[in-house]
Chain A
Amino acid sequence: DAMVIQNPRYQVTQFGKPVTLSCSQTLNHNVMYWYQQKSSQAPKLLFHYYDKDFNNEADTPDNFQSRRPNTSFCFLDIRSPGLGDAAMYLCATSRAGNYGYTFGSGTRLTVV
Chain B
Amino acid sequence: DAKTTQPPSMDCAEGRAANLPCNHSTISGNEYVYWYRQIHSQGPQYIIHGLKNNETNEMASLIITEDRKSSTLILPHATLRDTAVYYCIVRVRDSNYQLIWGAGTKLIIKP
Give the B-binding residues of A (Cβ under 8 A): 4, 6, 31, 33, 42-45, 48, 50, 55, 88, 90, 92, 94, 96-98, 100-106, 108
Interface string of B42-71 (1 = CB under 8 A from A): 111110010000000000000000000000
Residue in A45, A105, A106 whose CB lies within 8 Å of B99: A45
What are the 3 A-B residue pairs with the smallest beta carbon separation, nearest first?
A103-B43, A100-B46, A42-B101
Identify which of B18-26, B76-84, B90-98 touches chain A.
B90-98
Interface residues on B, range: 20 to 34
A-B residue pair count with CB separations less than 8 angstroms: 53
Give the A-binding residues of B (Cβ under 8 A): 2, 32, 34, 36, 41-46, 49, 87, 91, 93-94, 96-97, 99, 101-104
A21 CB to closest chain B CB (Å) equals: 13
Of all chain B residues, which has the CB nearest A95?
B96
A92 with B43: CB separation less than 8 A? yes
